[in-house]
Amino acid sequence: MFAPCPATPAPPVAGEPAAVHVRTPIPGPASEALRARHGRFQDARTVHYYQDARRSVGNYAVDVDGNTLLDLYGHIAALPVGYNHPDLLAAWRSGRFDWAAGYRPALGVAPSAEWVDVVEHTLMRIAPAGMAQVMTVTTGAEAVENAIKAAFIRLAARRRGGAPASPAELRACMLNQQAEANRFKIISFDGGFHGRSLGALSATRSKAIHKLDFPAFDWPVVAFPYQQFPLDAFAAENAARTAAALERVGALCISHPDEIAAVIVEPIQGEGGDRHASPEFFRALRALTRRHGVALIVDEVQTGAGGTGAWWAHSAWGLDHPPDLVTFSKKMQLGGYYMSSELVAAEPLRIFNTFLGDPLRGAQLEVIVEVIERDHLLETTRITGNYLLSCLYELSGRHPGLLSGARASGTFAAIDVRDGATRDQIVSRARQRGLELGGSGDRSIRFRPALILEPRHVAEAMDILEASLGA
Ligand SMILES: Cc1ncc(COP(=O)(O)O)c(C=O)c1O
């Protein structure tokens, strides 16, 4: 038994199943038949199950075998308002997306008037405080890749004192032999994940399998000052890690003058084990980077768009000065980054590509933002997240030695399992019982539900999770 469920302001999603329903092993025979077909042409080994896209509603995914799963993983944290939200379907049916459905434009060449509405009224409406500009792309890795490039452009422009690049520099770059730019660096943290494109990958440091066999930039890494939970039991260790990380970042800025373009950091390391750092660390990091003229890139690809109970996780830090760049994707449906005006390159086309995002995703985001605001889903996420955390404490209290380290910010939550193999078994047993969860880092279970998750869903999930813990 868990604590009684608190109320939230979110209205129920019409047509949502009442509970999980499991008819076959998951993946079942229909999923396996599809995998065999699919696998002939694409690598389908990572697929958990094939989903019945039309029948999935709210927090519940329905698979092609007719199983109904409570989904607390949300397509790797990318599902903002659950499956087939009635407002999204109504917008689709009413023709609200028609302007974006007939062709996919090159948004840097001939966008439509509606795209300007999306930028002005949706993307900028939810922009983090202090961010004057937004760049759109498609994925999280692209967002990071281009945010890093923006930081390099700013550093080079400063070094040239605003003068244009010399003919020698223009020749050298064509031979990959820029004496100065080739020494530019991005500082990242161990355990961080920033995507799998070649530049972003040099800042990604969560798992070797992501990086193996790919040439990488020799950029510095700093030990992430993760907090051990419960915080009061580990105050001294946590403070020591924070001080060490700040000292190392400061030392790198001093030992590589004019070479460090940016520090990139996740508010919570979402792939690398749900590792949290303290607001004091982030405030000091902001002050330090400003002192050294180094850009601070806050990677909110996984934490952004509401999962922590705020639009942007970094808004909880109480920064005196905003970050220079904030990357996003996943629940935002589009990739991109917000930036201060200073990060906009002096010349156009320095950061560019064919699509520059996707108007159809922007049109969907308009509706999603309306739903989140109208239905008070950020508040719901905070209430549900508190309840989830209290249940995780209860669960680990009942299973000491197996579960520990419950932590959450909103419903962006995790709990540690004794070891990785046991974690994998629990996640897989939970799926057999109709609960979809994810792994994070070596031995954590992660929760990344949609913003429509309510305490009653958490109660159902906790019963399933407890039944999946094994002997
Ligand atoms: C913090 C962070 N940055 C970047 C990425 C890369 O995003 P994508 O998979 O869309 O390229 C991810 C993906 O999980 C992420 O969690």
Q: Tell me, in angstroms, the distance from the centre of ligand 1 to residue 144's CA.
A: 8
Question: What Cα–Cα distance (Å) separates residue 217 from each residue in 139, 146, 159?
Answer: 21, 16, 21
Reported in sequence order, the residue ranges of 223-281 that DSSP labels E, i.e. its strands, are: 260-265, 268-269, 275-276
CATH of the domain at 53: 3.90.1150.10
- Domain limits for position 423: 29-89+376-467
Does 151 share its domain with 232? yes
Among the atoms of ligand 1, which is closest to the Cα of residue 330? Answer: 10
- CATH code, 275: 3.40.640.10
Q: Is residue 5 part of a domain?
A: no
Pair (48, 126) in one structural domain: no
404 and 458 both lie in a single domain: yes
Between CA 359 and CA 116 the distance in angstroms is 10
Q: Which residues of the chain fall short of a pLDDT of 70?
A: 471
Mutate which of 196, 302, 328, 412 to test ligand 1's pocket (most atoms within 8 Å of Cβ)? 302
Output phi, psi for 406, to 5 deg.
-60, 135
Same domain, yes or no: 318 and 456? no
Identify whether residues 182 and 321 lie together within a single domain.
Answer: yes
Using CB atoms within 10 Å of the CB of residue 17, give its burial: 0 to 12 exposed, 13 to 18 middle, 19+ buried.
middle
Q: Is residue 202 part of a domain?
A: yes
* Structural domain count, the chain: 2
Does residue 317 lie within any of the structural domains? Answer: yes
Pairing verdict, β 335-339 and 325-328:
antiparallel
C-alpha dist (Å) from residue 189 to 264, 267, 362:
8, 11, 31
Structural domain includes residue 98: no
CA nearest 68: which of 24, 100, 21?
21
State whether 166 and 221 are in the same domain. yes
Q: Do both 166 and 277 map to the same domain? A: yes
Position 428 in a domain: yes
pLDDT of 63-104, one tens digit each?
999 999 999 999 999 999 999 999 999 999 999 999 999 999
**End position of a domain, from candidates 304, 325, 357:** 357
Q: Ligand 1 atom 10: the closest Cα is on which residue?
A: 140
Q: Looking at residue 470, what is its pLDDT?
A: 84
User: Is residue 19 in a domain?
Assistant: no
Residue 365 in domain: no
Q: How far is the CA of 440 from the centre of ligand 1 (A)?
A: 13
Backbone angles phi, psi at 295, to 5 degrees: -70, 145
Task: Tell me which residues are annotated as active site.
Answer: 193, 299, 330, 354
Query: Last residue of some domain: 357, 386, 412?
Result: 357
- Looking at the domain assignment, is residue 458 inside a domain? yes
Are 389 and 250 in a shared domain? no
pLDDT of residue 1: 74
Is the entire prediction scored with pTM above 0.95?
yes
Task: Pull the structure tokens for residue 182.
Answer: 């080739």
Give ligand 1 pocket residues (Cβ under 6 A).
Answer: 139-141, 144, 193-195, 266, 270-271, 299, 301-302, 329
**Residues 35 and 135 both lie in one domain:** no
Atom of ligand 1 nearest to the CA of 196: 11
Q: Are 239 and 144 within one domain?
A: yes
48 and 145 share a domain?
no
Is the domain of 411 the same as that of 319? no
Contact call for residues 407 and 229 (beta carbons, < 8 A): yes
pLDDT of residue 471: 65
DSSP per-residue string spanning 11-52: PPPTT--SS-B--S-SS-HHHHHHHHHHHTTS--TT----B-
